Copies of this chain bind each other. A is one copy, B any other.
Amino acid sequence: MNNKTIKFSRKSAPEKSARMVETIVGCKWSLTVYNLLNNDINRPGEMVRSVEGLTTKVLNACLKRNIEFGILEREAFNEIPPRVEYQVTKFGDKFIGILNELEKLQKDIDNSHC
């Protein structure tokens, strides 16, 4: 029977995307920023004014990290005064969808005996 056994090989993990989850979840403001964007608050000044405790410096670091991951994109409009807006990319949409699933799962954990 042994020599009839189908052999499976080790399945490698989605390490890069898991690391994204790790970094973004560890980032204090990313989820808040997604929430703001979802409410059409997409200009940095507006963002800072809308959230208690959020500073321009911290927001910029957060936006930068999200752009590096390809979750958000920055659009600069050639206007006077200059206007800059942020939006979620298609890739970012999928990623945020996964975070939402993780949030639902978290509720399952919180409601269980653990």
Give bound CA distance, A48 to B54, whole Å.
52
Given contacts A49-B2, A70-B112, whether A105 and B10 have CB atoms under 8 Å apart is no
Contact B12 A22 (CB under 8 A): no
Interface SS majority for chain A = helix
- Asked if A108 CB lies within 8 Å of chain B CBs, one says yes
Query: Closest chain B residue to A109 by CB distance?
Result: B16
Residues of A in contact with B, size category: 35 or more
9 more A-B residue pairs beyond the given contacts A7-B50, A14-B99, A94-B105, with a C-beta to C-beta distance below 8 A? A5-B46, A5-B49, A5-B50, A8-B32, A9-B51, A11-B35, A17-B106, A21-B102, A22-B22
